[in-house]
Amino acid sequence: MNWRGLRFRIAFGLAGVLAVLFAILGGGLYLSRSRVLLGDTDVALKGRADWIEGIARGPAEAGDFSSFQEEMKEHTDLGREGRVVQILSESGRVLFRSENLAGASLPFTQTELAGLRPCQWAIRTVSLAGEGRLRLITQNGREKEGEGAAYFVQVAMPLDQVEANLRRLLRTLAGAIPLGAFLIGAGGWFLVGRTLKPVGDIVRSARLIRVDDLKRRLEIPKTGDEIEELSRILNSMLGELELNFERMRRFIADAAHEIRTPLGILLGETDVALQADRQSEEYRSILESNRKEVARLAGLVERLLFLSHMDAGQWRWEMRPVSLRPLLSDLAEKAGLLANDKDLRVILEADQEAVIRGDEMRLRQLLLNLVDNAVKHSRPGGRIILSLSRRDGQAVLGVEDEGAGIRPEDLPRIFDRFYRADKARERSRGGYGLGLSISQAIAQAHRGRIEVRSKVGEGSLFALWLPLP
Ligand code: ADP
């Protein structure tokens, strides 16, 4: 795992997301601050306009503004910004213009003036050469329609203070946002690094694990979090892998061993036959023996192929409804034939019918394995009981014998591949030690299981449980 990449991506992503968030918040702050500052300016501007309007009423009625500049100076303690004043007649003629305007005019339009009813005012921002941006109020000085003097007062206030204020805020934000994002990114980098350290350790110890040495395990960090859980899961996965690997290795070794024995016999007998001229009777007997070994090899290869297909999950099952009663009675007949030599009695106990979904041919193979084993291990004169019943929503098929039984220490291993309780004897009887493992695999493919009960000297009962639909 490229944890450095992960670390960088998390820290960088965090910083990026926060930078965007800060920028949005900063933008909001800037907007609201500029609105507040402009609002304050407007309130002050309106106060001044009212005040100028008051002292201008007299001159406006008299139509004489000659001494208004002095009057304003006398009455006002307003600073420079309060004295940018222009007074207009109703028709828009300039009646008075304060000195500090130095001949320049505060902007207005006839439509603007016409739109202002008595006592109404309008505020906007204007740019004036030499003065920069100004906030300008234009207010109608008339108190009532058709009464008193008609004049408009215009007062302007430079916005330089407000703008300087906002510039300062912008500078602060422009410095603080990247710095904040950087610090958070650095913090994230550090924290992610610390959090991912155990992952780095896992990666290092995982590198040491090889297919030929699956005994190694990851060190489990005592972090009490997902990483600890992950390493535990990986370790149990390794355990599982080791077990399966070992099982597979043993299976291949056993299979090779099983193939070697008949091949050795074939080779040996052929060599003996070739050493001298022989009677045709002798050739026939050697060929018959060779045929037996070839047949054994063919049977073994067929079973191995079946198992390997099943292991790979590639076996094509032909699932159809299967009636178990006719299947079992058919097997009972076959068992009868097999049992003849040993003078065995085959008993069928199947009163009820049970229909399941399954692969009839494979189920027949499974049961035939069990019957074949029962016959092989029975004592002469004994009974073989084939039964069918329904229990707990399942069909139970029993194959019981009164034979030698299975020793308790062999019992857990009889389903292992190539396991035979008595290797030499079973082999001479034609067994491969694969019958029960194949049977078990078929049962599992039908979502069923095989249970065994056995007592040495008394016999064994193999029960196949299959779920009913
Ligand atoms: P095989 O094909 O050699 O018979 P199986 O896988 O069918 O091998 O059986 C594995 C071993 O289980 C046998 O070698 C035998 O020792 C034991 N076994 C199976 N069925 C019975 C039985 N009915 N009675 C006693 N032992 C049995």
| Ligand 1 contact, 439 CB (< 6 A) | no
| Helix or strand holding residue 395 (H, E) | strand 394-401
Count of positions (residues) in the chain: 469
Task: Return the pLDDT at 1.
Answer: 39
Please write the tens of the pLDDT for every residue from 152-184: 999 998 898 899 999 999 999 999 999 999 999
Task: Return the pLDDT at 180.
Answer: 92
Beta-strand relationship, 345-349 and 355-358? unpaired
Residues 6+ positions from 121 with CB-CB distance below 8 Å = 46, 49, 137, 138, 139, 140
Relative to the CA of 431, which ligand 1 atom is closest?
Answer: 3
Going from the first residue of the chain to its last (469 residues), give the mean pLDDT of each consecutive group of 10, the final group possibly shorter.
71 91 95 95 92 88 83 63 79 86 85 90 89 90 81 91 94 94 91 86 85 83 86 93 89 90 91 88 92 92 91 89 96 89 91 94 96 92 95 95 94 92 71 92 96 95 96
Task: Return the pLDDT at 342.
Answer: 84
Task: Return the pLDDT at 82.
Answer: 54
Relative to the CA of 403, which ligand 1 atom is closest?
Answer: 24
Nearest to 432, CA basis, from 258, 276, 307, 315: 258
Residues 6+ positions from 402 with CB-CB distance below 8 Å = 378, 379, 382, 383, 384, 458, 459
Phi-psi region of 374 (alpha: psi -120 to 50; beta: other; left: phi over 0): alpha
d(CA 197, CA 42): 59
For residue 225, give both structure tokens.
């979090």
Beta strands in 209-311 (DSSP E): none
| Ligand 1 contact, 433 CB (< 6 A) | yes
| Ligand 1 contact, 434 CB (< 6 A) | yes
Relative to the CA of 372, which ligand 1 atom is closest?
Answer: 4
Task: Return the pLDDT at 68.
Answer: 82
| Ligand 1 contact, 377 CB (< 6 A) | yes
